């Protein structure tokens, strides 16, 4: 009974957030009017996704986003889910950061900080729903070993020092280093790798060279990560755990010390379990969500 009451209260709260703070939009879902700011947010997102869309196509895309938004809020509440304290803190930090960077843009758009908070919370609700849907006692359970195997095969952990194979000319343009400069830099990075393998550490070598970026905290990335050159993942995956190596990729030179992604004492898997689930089941869950969204049509 308590869980049912909580779910009902949460559902009421979710519906209230649809029309709170920034006025009505003129569209509603199941009788609850969508806030103007939330509607404007999704209109902006639809325009970004398809800048050439005509008015009819844009309206269809916005309505689909709104239906999914309401479906997520409602089903999240119906299932009695809640965000952890860490997730709530992450949400606050995300919203504050986005507002600090883009607050003027959102304000001019007609989106309030509360609207932004509602949208970002909805994203966390989506993550909670996919975890719940594929949980061991969920709608379509997925084996834990399947997720762990995917993590172990498609993620790497490391610390690194990054250097640049380019410099800036007098006109401010990026230009390649000379062959002599590349050779000298490669030698320096190889010496750092050798020092780490000889008992030093990335932390101790952090100040060995100027004009570098140093990650002394463990970095975890997947094969799909675009923050590093395409060949970076393959190069690091070939390095034995605990070993450092210098190599070039794109316009960069790296010293990377690979760490054991499977170390159960550190349990990196738990931190990235939801990411793995989204990679494996994300497309399938989008179809599930689309089915839910049909239950929440937009009306004017």
Reported as a single tens digit per residue, the pLDDT across 159-172 is: 999 999 999 988 88
Q: Give me the pLDDT at residue 32, please.
A: 85
Contacting residues for 131 by C-beta, under 8 A, at least 6 apart:
273, 274, 277
Q: Which range is least confidently modeled, 11-20, 94-103, 250-259?
A: 11-20
Say if residues 130 and 281 touch (Cβ distance below 8 Å). Answer: yes
Q: How confident is the model at residue 22 (pLDDT cuts 50, 70, 90)?
A: very low
**At residue 17, does pLDDT exceed 70?**
no
Nearest to 119 by CA among 6, 28, 37, 33: 37
**pTM greater than 0.85 (yes/no):** no
E-strand ranges in 16-165 read: 24-29, 32-35, 155-164
Structural domains for the chain: 2-133+275-299 (no CATH), 154-259 (3.10.50)
Q: Give me the pLDDT at residue 37, please.
A: 95
**At residue 16, does pLDDT exceed 80?**
no
Reported as a single tens digit per residue, the pLDDT across 146-161 is: 999 999 999 999 999 9
Reported as a single tens digit per residue, the pLDDT across 37-77 is: 999 999 999 999 999 999 999 999 999 999 999 999 999 99
Nearest to 158 by CA among 251, 272, 275, 243: 243
Q: How confident is the model at residue 26 (pLDDT cuts 50, 70, 90)?
A: confident
Q: How far apart are CA 253 and CA 167, in angstroms?
A: 13
Say if residues 115 and 244 touch (Cβ distance below 8 Å). Answer: no
Q: Give me the pLDDT at residue 159, please.
A: 97
Reported as a single tens digit per residue, the pLDDT across 90-144 is: 999 999 999 999 999 999 999 999 999 999 999 999 999 999 999 999 999 999 9
Q: What percent of the chain has a predicted confidence (pLDDT) above 70?
A: 92
Q: How confident is the model at residue 25 (pLDDT cuts 50, 70, 90)?
A: low
Q: How confident is the model at residue 18 (pLDDT cuts 50, 70, 90)?
A: very low
**At residue 20, does pLDDT exceed 80?**
no
Mean pLDDT of the chain: 91
**Residue 41 Cα distances to 108, 138, 168, angstroms:** 11, 32, 39
């Amino acid at each position: 009974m308590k869980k049912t009451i909580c779910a009902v209260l949460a559902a009421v709260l979710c519906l209230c957030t649809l029309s709170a703070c920034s006025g009505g939009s003129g569209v509603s879902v199941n009788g609850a009017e969508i806030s103007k700011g939330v509607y404007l947010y999704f209109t902006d997102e639809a325009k970004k996704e398809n800048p050439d869309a005509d008015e009819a196509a844009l309206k269809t895309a916005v309505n689909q986003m709104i239906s999914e938004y309401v479906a997520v809020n409602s089903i999240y509440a119906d299932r009695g889910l809640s965000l952890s304290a860490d997730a709530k803190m992450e949400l606050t930090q995300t919203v504050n950061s986005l507002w600090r960077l883009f607050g003027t843009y959102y304000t001019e758009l007609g989106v309030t900080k509360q609207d932004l908070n509602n949208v970002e919370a909805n994203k966390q609700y989506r993550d909670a729903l996919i975890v719940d849907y594929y949980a061991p006692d969920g709608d379509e359970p997925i084996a834990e070993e399947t997720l762990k195997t995917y993590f172990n095969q498609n993620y790497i952990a490391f610390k690194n020092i990054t250097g640049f194979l380019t410099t800036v000319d007098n006109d401010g343009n990026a230009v390649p280093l000379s062959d002599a400069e590349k050779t000298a830099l490669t030698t320096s990075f190889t010496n750092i790798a050798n020092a780490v393998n000889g008992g030093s550490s990335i932390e101790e070598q952090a100040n060995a060279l100027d004009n570098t970026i140093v990650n002394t905290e463990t970095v975890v990335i997947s094969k799909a990560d675009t923050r590093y050159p395409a060949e970076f993942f393959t190069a690091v995956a070939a390095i034995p755990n605990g070993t450092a190596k210098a190599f070039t990729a794109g316009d960069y030179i790296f010293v990377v010390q690979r760490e054991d992604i499977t170390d159960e004492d550190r349990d990196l898997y738990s931190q990235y379990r939801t990411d793995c689930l989204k990679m494996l089941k994300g497309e399938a869950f989008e179809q599930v969500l689309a089915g839910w969204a049909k239950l929440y049509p937009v009306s004017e």
